């Protein structure tokens, strides 16, 4: 027997709200170990280190964290506007990167990150990893197994009145790099690429009904801030394989009874669970009846950080990781092209593409 594979040692940048979910997942993963954390607020970094337990160092800066000998990969949980700078700092220090979505705020930054990774022979992964769970993966297996016939169309809806109702510091959702499409679109578009493949052309429309929003909770409740991005985006996506997806992403809808994702084929229809979750029921409509499918694929009991664990396993096994920067870069390009289409009033080609990530075929598998 060979030597046991050592865990991937991870330094976490950003100890904000989402970090708690990552810390919960990292605590139960065997192939990933948190060794250091940093945040612009040292107090938050210290709290995260205490929650993680063990010997987790608090680094004074991103540069210091990326330069540590006990860090193999940097987990980038900063706001979207900082994703590229943190990733490039980590890559320049010779460290792999796994980050929150979106990959970067614009195409130029994404290209810089991908180029730096290639030059250094390093891996870059990116959320969402929810699509590696049993929900989306069971649905993907149904599509791949031909249960709906040839895919014809899909719908994807994400509707909320806005994150300011619950988030105590929501401004970044309404600044460049934010908005419903760039915030929540990665979940839905990543799922659609897993289900139907890359997107070749888009047609979009968008609006910004309110110039200002008010914080609804926390110590700053009632404080008003400006809206700098479109808050309702709709579009049609033409997949390279021929299927058409209709997309609605909104921070302007108080309530709706819309499905999350549905995929329709020549023989049947498929109801896909919320791509912001790892699990959920998958239902097939065929011969006049909706029937829930048994779980047949995906990482079970997934949590934020499953994609990082998959990256660690991919490094050990010498295979591509599934929550890849190439997929995230294509998703970013699709979203930005959709916004360009909305502002120009014309259908536009998506110039990037990507391979569909390998399916997670064994429902009993762990990263």
- Alpha-carbon span 51 to 15, nearest angstrom: 11
- The first and second tokens of residue 86, run together, are 């943190």
**3-class SS of residue 150:** coil
Residue 32 to residues 7, 22, 75, 134: CA-CA distances in angstroms?
5, 11, 11, 21
Cβ-contact 147, 270 below 8 angstroms: yes
- Alpha-carbon span 28 to 174, nearest angstrom: 34
Phi, psi of 269 (to 5 degrees): -125, 155
Sequence-ordered strand ranges (E) for the chain: 8-13, 32-38, 57-58, 73-76, 96-99, 124-126, 151-159, 199-207, 212-214, 224-226, 232-239, 244-250, 261-265, 269-272, 283-286, 289-292, 348-349
- Residue 141 appears among annotated catalytic residues: no
CB atoms within 10 A of CB 344: 10
Cβ-contact 304, 311 below 8 angstroms: no
CA 223 to chain CA centroid, nearest Å: 29
Cβ-contact 137, 359 below 8 angstroms: yes
Q: Please give the angle made by the CA atoms of 61, 65 and 67, to the nearest 5 degrees.
A: 120
CA 289 to chain CA centroid, nearest Å: 33
Cβ-contact 188, 158 below 8 angstroms: yes
Nearest residue to 275 via CA among 176, 127, 171: 127
Whole-number CA gyration radius for the chain: 20
- Alpha-carbon span 40 to 49, nearest angstrom: 14
Nearest residue to 25 via CA among 231, 310, 220, 261: 310
Element (H, E) at 361: none
Choice among 17, 51, 101, 141 that is catalytic: 101
- Catalogue the active-site residues: 101
């Amino acid at each position: 027997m060979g030597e046991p594979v050592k865990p991937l040692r991870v330094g976490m940048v950003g100890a904000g709200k989402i970090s708690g979910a990552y810390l919960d997942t990292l605590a139960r993963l065997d192939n990933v170990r948190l060794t250091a954390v940093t945040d612009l607020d040292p107090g938050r970094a210290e709290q995260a280190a205490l929650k993680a337990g063990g010997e987790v160092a608090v680094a004074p800066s991103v540069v210091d964290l990326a330069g540590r000998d006990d860090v193999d990969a940097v987990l980038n949980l900063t706001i979207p506007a900082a994703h590229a700078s943190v990733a490039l700092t980590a890559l320049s220090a010779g460290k792999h990167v796994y980050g929150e979505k979106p990959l970067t705020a614009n195409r130029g930054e994404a290209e810089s990150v991908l180029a730096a990774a290639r030059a250094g022979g390093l891996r870059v992964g990116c959320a969402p990893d929810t699509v590696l769970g049993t929900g989306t993966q069971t649905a993907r297996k149904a599509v791949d197994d031909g249960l709906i016939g040839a895919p014809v169309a899909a719908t994807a809806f994400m509707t909320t009145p806005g994150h300011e109702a619950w988030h105590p510091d929501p401004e970044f959702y309404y600044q460049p790099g934010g908005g419903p499409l760039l915030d929540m679109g990665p979940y839905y578009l990543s799922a659609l690429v897993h289900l139907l493949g890359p997107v070749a052309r888009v047609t979009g429309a968008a609006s910004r009904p309110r110039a200002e929003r008010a914080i609804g909770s926390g110590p700053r409740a009632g404080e008003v801030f400006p809206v700098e991005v479109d808050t309702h985006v709709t579009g049609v996506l033409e997949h390279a394989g021929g299927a058409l997806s209709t997309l609605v992403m909104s921070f302007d809808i108080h309530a709706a009874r819309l499905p999350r994702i549905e995929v329709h084929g020549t023989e049947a229809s498929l109801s896909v669970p919320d791509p912001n979750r790892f699990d959920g029921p998958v239902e097939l409509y065929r011969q006049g009846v909706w029937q829930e499918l048994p779980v047949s694929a995906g990482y079970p009991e997934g949590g934020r950080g499953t994609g990082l664990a998959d990256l660690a396993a991919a490094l050990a096994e010498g295979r591509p990781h599934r929550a890849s920067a190439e997929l995230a870069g294509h998703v970013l390009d699709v979203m930005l092209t959709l916004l360009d289409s909305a502002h120009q009033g014309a259908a536009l080609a998506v110039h990037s593409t990507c391979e569909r990530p390998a399916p997670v075929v064994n429902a009993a598998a762990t990263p």
